Each structure stands twice: as C-alpha cells, then as structure tokens.
Structure 1
Amino acid sequence: MIASTGNARVRAVTALAKKAKARREQGVFLVEGPKMFGELPVERRREVYVSENFLRQQGERAEKLLAGCRYETVTDEVMRHMSDTQTPQGILAIAEQFSYQLSDVLKNSPDGKAPELVILETLQDPGNLGTILRAGEGAGVTGIILDRGSADIYSPKVIRSTMGSIYRVPFIYTDDLHQTIGEVKKQGIRLYAAHLKGKHNYEEENYTGPSGFLIGNEANGLTEETAALADAWVRIPMAGKVESLNAAVAASVLLFETARQRRQ
C-alpha cells in the first residue's frame, strides 16, 4: 500500500493530472470514478489505484469492478493528493490514449447512417469540449475534428464531462484546420457554420446527407477565414435579448436536429 504523497508513482500521477505535456509525452490520461473506470476498455488500462475507503465501503461492488485487475491500494490522503477533484471517488486509472486517423472520423455510423461531424476551431473551455463529445455521441455524431488551439481533450475536466463518450467517439487534432476542412469537403460532406449572420434558421437546412458543423471559439466564434469555407451559414434564432448560445449548447441543438431529421 502507498501511504506517502512523496512516493514517485504518486508524483507521476499528479503530474499527469496537471500537465498536458506529461500526458502527451507518455501517451496516457487519467480516469476517475467507478463509472468511468467501469467503461474503460480493459486493454487501455496501464495502472489502477484504489483507496482504502473505497474498498471498505464498496465491498462486493469493488470486488466486481476490480475482478481480474491488478491494482495498488493507497491511503485516502494519497488518493486526495492524486485526484483532480475535491471529492475523490476512490478509484483512479492511468489509461492509454487513443489514436485515430481522418478516415476513422469520416466513416459512416455503425448503423449505416451518413457521416456527421463536429469541427472545432479554438474551442478552449474543457467543459464545453466534454459536453460536445457527450451530446455528440447521444445524437449519433461519427467524429470530432479539433485544431491545435482547442482545449486538450485528455484533460481531467474534459474526461469527466464526457461521461464515457471519450471511449467511443473518434476524434483527431489537425495542425492545419483549413487543409483538413478541404479534405473533408472532397469526401462529399456538406459543412454548415453556426453563425449569427446565417441566411437560414438551422431547422430549414437538410442534414440527412453527409454533414458537418463548424463551431468556433466561445468568445469570438469562427474566424472569417474558417467560416468562409462552409457550404452554408445557419443561425439559431433567439428570443429576448440573448444574442447567441454557449458553444456546447449550440452544437447540441444542431446535432439533435440532425438526429431528428435522420430518424424521420
């Protein structure tokens, strides 16, 4: 059992929680809590840490969750030190990162429906990014494309916000967003920019074919250059004095409209 916060392994886990560079260099990320751990593919597990209190309180549930799994027991104090949250759930894993190509993002959905993408430009809030992944899975999105100015998808806050969708939604980062958008369009995918100057309301467009949505920075929206690459601009009409929606909310509205159209 590890009882010291000065332990080398504990310091390494703490660094992974705080530093994107450490996660990137080692090709790993942190997973916390029974739900996220339970959904983590077994082949992705690198190391598992469990607190004394978790083992004591969870009993049979802990035994079932950890069946066949090698893990290290730590004191509750050490778990609090390792965790990225103020109230640790008692179980933490180091997981191997995913590796996708553009072709993975552009595939049809498992049920044979046309590709449905979200393309993010400088989306910087981890909570927004995690929510887009989670809503995207719920709406049937086939992949996410991000530029390098966007938040680190492997940050603990993003991972928590996805509620497991990080394991199932393909995603890639691109060094040249405009070039990647060009490659996407060559595959016959029609791109829509969520834009205040959109000619049509979002529900007036047809998303039943291969589609993608361009979503911009929380404060500034899409750059003019990126917006110009869209096949069409769409707006989400607002009542009252509200000018626009949160980026994750706007993306969710568009994705679930796509899901509604495809169901019909």
Structure 2
Amino acid sequence: MNESSDSYREKKAFFDRVLTIYGRKPVLEALRDADLQCHRLHLADSNRQGGIVGELLAEARRRNVPVSHHSRDELARISKNGKQDQGVALDILCPEFRGLDAYLAELPGLPRQRILALDGITNPQNLGMILRSAAAGAIDAVLWSRRGNAALGPLVIKASAGTVYKAPLVLCDALPQALEMCAGQGCEILSLRADAVESLFGYRPAGHAIYVLGNETSGVSAAVGKLASRGLGIPMQRGVESLNVAVTAALIAYAENP
C-alpha cells in the first residue's frame, strides 16, 4: 500500500468520527459542553457580529477551537441544511463513530459483538432514543446507513439527550450491502419480527450477532429480510401486536448479560 493510500485511509477514518451539527443555540450548547471534542466552528460571512455569534466566537477562543469563515452557500454545503443552519455549524469528534470498513477490520480480534442494525428508522425521535439505549446498554455497535434512516440532526440529538455523541455508531451507505459484508465476517443476522415464534429472550447467539430493527410502519425490508437467518419476537399479551421500535431496541440492549 502506498503512502497516499495510507493518508487517504487515515483521513477517511478521522472524518467518519466527525458529526457536524448546526444552529446557533445547539452549537453554543455544544461549545460549552466540556465533555465534547469540538473540532472546528464554521461561520457564514453574512452573520451579523455580536450577540450570539459573538458568544460563539468567545467560546471557540476559550476552548482553542479553530474557526473557519465561509460564504453562505459554502456553509450550507457543510451543514447540509441551509434553510435551518442559521449560518453556523460545528464539527464534533465522536470517538466511538467509525466507518464499516474500519469496524470489519477490527472484528476478528473483538469479543462476541452485539450489534443493532437500523433498517429504515425514519422518525428522528425513535432514532435518538435507540441511540441512547445502545449507548447505555450492552450494544457494541449500531449499524446506521446514510440511505433510508433519519439524519443525525438536532431532533435526533435532542431525543438522545446528547448521548448520540457517545453512541458506538458504524456508518455505511446502504444496509443490505453492509449486512452481506458483516455476514462474510461470520456475523449472524437476526430480524426482529412481530410474527416470529422464537423469543428474543430465549435465543443466545454463539458468535457475533446483528439484531435488525425495521421501519416503524412496514418493518424489516424485503431485501434485508432475505439476509436474516432467524426471526426473533417479543412475547405479547392482552392482544398487543407490537412495541415501539425504540422500546424494542432497549429490550435488546438488556436482553442478556454478555
């Protein structure tokens, strides 16, 4: 492998751990949080000086966070939400974020992994609560695809009570392809289904296990369902058909003592 390839991999691994947030108040709160590793503050040249922008600059100076100034269009490309970013964005380094390739490279040397895979979780509140449960419980990784899931925006961060920054997130482009790669590394794929006969609480995987959570309305997609070797359900009483997907994630996080 040549030096340029090594440099590219290192750069990619670094930016896979960066989460960019936007909006003046959310960014100010993040800058004031000593537990967060703030990497760079981005400001639009069109911002009026003083007020909350002045507070942002003061906090950045206090914490030695580099500041970059951009045109309004450039800032919108950084925030990926020009209508709501208010001319402000902040890069935060999340130590437990990594790309799928990096995670798979580590996998052979890791103890038995318990992984959540998110298949079309479109409600930001659900996604935030899932990440909070994963960060708190016995979940080693959350497989989050950029395609099909809610973006990691302010609503997700709020619903997670800020724990999104601590969540063990593994980023990929599309879930079916990512699951195929994981299966190739010996991971067992388990789909959570309302019609499954076998209980989540009774099954103990022998090796790495991926628990797939499906869309709030339609459940696990057909493409992902074909990759699952087993379906697991949660026992229900009194005619209840299913639980909220975030509640299901919490149950998985505490379903066994690893």
Which consecutive unaligned segments of at least 5 residues does structure 1 have?
1-26, 56-62, 73-83, 85-91
Q: Which amino acid aligns with 1:236?
A: I
The 3 A distance-change label for structure 1 pair 143 and 206 is: same
1:5 corresponds to: none
Partners of 2:189 and 2:239 lie apart in 1 by 28
Which portions of structure 1, spanning 4 or more consecutive aligned residues, are displaced by more than 6 angstroms? 48-52, 63-66
Aligned length: 207
Residue-by-residue CA offset, 1:199-239 (whole Å, 9 max, x unaligned): 31111100463111111100110123322211210000112
Partners of 1:207 and 1:228 lie apart in 2 by 19
Partners of 1:241 and 1:36 lie apart in 2 by 48
Q: How does 1:237-248 map to 2 (within 5 A)?
A: 237-248=235-246
Q: 1:71: how far off?
A: 9.9
Q: How does 1:193-204 map to 2 (within 5 A)?
A: 193-204=191-202
1:173 corresponds to: 172
Verify the 8 A CA contact 2:20 2:89 in the aligned structure 1.
Answer: no
Partners of 1:196 and 1:235 lie apart in 2 by 6
What SS class does the counterpart of residue 119 from structure 1 fall into? strand
What SS class does the counterpart of residue 122 from structure 2 fall into? coil
Identity among equivalent positions (%) equals 21
Q: Which amino acid aligns with 1:144?
A: V
Which consecutive unaligned segments of at least 5 residues does structure 2 have?
1-18, 44-48, 68-83
Q: How does 1:1-264 map to 2 (within 5 A)?
A: 28-30=20-22, 31-32=26-27, 34=29, 37-38=32-33, 39-42=35-38, 44-47=39-42, 67-69=62-64, 94-96=90-92, 100-106=98-104, 107=106, 113-147=111-145, 148-153=147-152, 155-168=153-166, 169-175=168-174, 177-207=175-205, 209-257=207-255, 260-262=256-258
Verify the 8 A CA contact 1:124 1:149 in the aligned structure 2.
Answer: yes
Residue-by-residue CA offset, 1:80-102 (whole Å, 9 max, x unaligned): xxxx8xxxxxxx96225767321
The 3 A distance-change label for structure 1 pair 171 and 165 is: farther
Verify the 8 A CA contact 1:208 1:261 in the aligned structure 2.
Answer: no
Residue-by-residue CA offset, 1:49-81 (whole Å, 9 max, x unaligned): 9967xx8xxxxxxx9998434699xxxxxxxxx
TM-score (norm 1): 0.65
Verify the 8 A CA contact 1:104 1:170 in the aligned structure 2.
Answer: no
Partners of 1:206 and 1:239 lie apart in 2 by 23
Verify the 8 A CA contact 2:31 2:59 in the aligned structure 1.
Answer: no
Q: 1:118: how far off?
A: 1.2
Verify the 8 A CA contact 1:36 1:164 in the aligned structure 2.
Answer: no
Q: CA RMSD in A?
A: 3.7
The 3 A distance-change label for structure 1 pair 220 and 94 is: same
The 3 A distance-change label for structure 1 pair 93 and 40 is: farther
